């Protein structure tokens, strides 16, 4: 039996989470878990295993970069691929995320094909 790849989608926009969920539904063997912000995602990661994290950068309560730092500092989560989704294409943001150990980036807006390509290295 094939294993489902669980992707945690973290975004404060319900609409954006829905768009990403719909895009991911087209990929075979992918399951989606959602969180509204980094704080909710961190709480979820304490109790549920995921295979990939796809997180927005700008969110209330806890930004994506803060979540990335927590994930990389946790021995049980540090190897989980972390893709940062952002409308911020500034070099300083990329540098900060690179230093924190980001796996890849997606710049908004993106297409299903761009999302699939970004996730491809992390899917079976």
pTM given for the model: 0.93
The CATH code of the domain that includes 66 is 3.40.50.2300
Determine the 3-state secondary structure of 32 from DSSP. strand
pLDDT 10s digits, 44-95: 999 999 999 999 998 999 999 999 999 999 999 999 999 998 876 665 577 8
pLDDT at 87: 77
Give the count of domains, the chain: 1
pLDDT surpassing 50 at residue 1: no
**CA-closest candidate to residue 9, choices 92, 98, 118:** 118
Alpha-carbon distance of 17 to 36, in angstroms, equals: 9
pLDDT surpassing 90 at residue 6: yes
User: 32 φ, ψ to 5°?
Assistant: -120, 135
pLDDT surpassing 80 at residue 19: yes
- Domain range for 20 is 5-122
- What secondary structure letter does DSSP report for 53? E
Q: Which residues pair with 6 in a beta bridge?
A: 31
pLDDT at 2: 56
């Amino acid at each position: 039996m094939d294993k489902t790849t669980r992707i945690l989608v973290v975004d404060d926009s319900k609409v954006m989470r829905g768009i990403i969920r719909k895009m991911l539904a087209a990929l075979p063997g992918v399951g989606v878990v959602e969180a509204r912000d980094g704080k909710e995602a961190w709480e979820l990661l304490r109790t549920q295993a995921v295979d990939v994290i796809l997180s927005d950068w700008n969110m209330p309560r806890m930004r994506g970069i803060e979540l990335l730092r927590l994930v990389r500092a946790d021995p049980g989560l540090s190897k989980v691929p972390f893709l940062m989704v952002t409308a911020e294409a500034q070099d300083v943001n990329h540098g900060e995320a690179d230093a924190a150990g980001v796996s890849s980036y997606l710049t908004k807006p993106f297409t299903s094909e761009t999302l699939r390509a970004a996730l491809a290295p992390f899917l079976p």
